[in-house]
């Protein structure tokens, strides 16, 4: 596959979804019932980042020490913007 097709696929399946999540978090569109799904997406993108670095066997997971939000609010907004933002920056750089 040539680079333009690979870049297009990567943009559609990684960059755009991350941008959409960040936009919804910034807009406050997520509700308390959306938190488990956001955590799953965050873990999935973290795993993809680890895999892209060829860190075989690394299984990045959120833990209580990460102070995972359980309800929406200022803390959860800051938490998700920080974590998804770092992932977006990483994926845009590769």
The pTM of the full predicted model, rounded to 2 decimals, is 0.87
Model pLDDT, residue 20 = 98
**Helices (runs of H) and strands (runs of E) counted in the chain:** 4, 0
Total domains in the fold of the chain? 1
Secondary element (H or E) of residue 27: helix 16-27
Model pLDDT, residue 28 = 94
Q: What is the domain extent for residue 79?
A: 3-93
Q: What is the pLDDT along the chain (94 residues), one digit of tens a residue?
A: 568 888 999 999 999 999 999 999 999 999 999 999 999 999 999 999 988 888 776 677 776 666 888 888 999 999 999 999 999 999 999 8
Model pLDDT, residue 69 = 83
């Amino acid at each position: 596959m040539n680079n333009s097709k690979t870049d297009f696929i990567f943009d559609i399946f990684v960059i755009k979804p991350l941008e959409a999540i960040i936009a919804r978090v910034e807009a406050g569109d997520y509700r308390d019932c959306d938190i488990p799904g956001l955590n799953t997406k965050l873990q999935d993108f973290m795993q993809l980042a680890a895999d892209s670095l060829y860190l075989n066997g690394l299984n990045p997971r959120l833990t209580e020490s990460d102070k995972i939000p359980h309800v929406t609010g200022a803390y959860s907004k800051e938490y998700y913007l920080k974590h998804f933002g770092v992932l977006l920056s990483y994926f845009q750089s590769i």
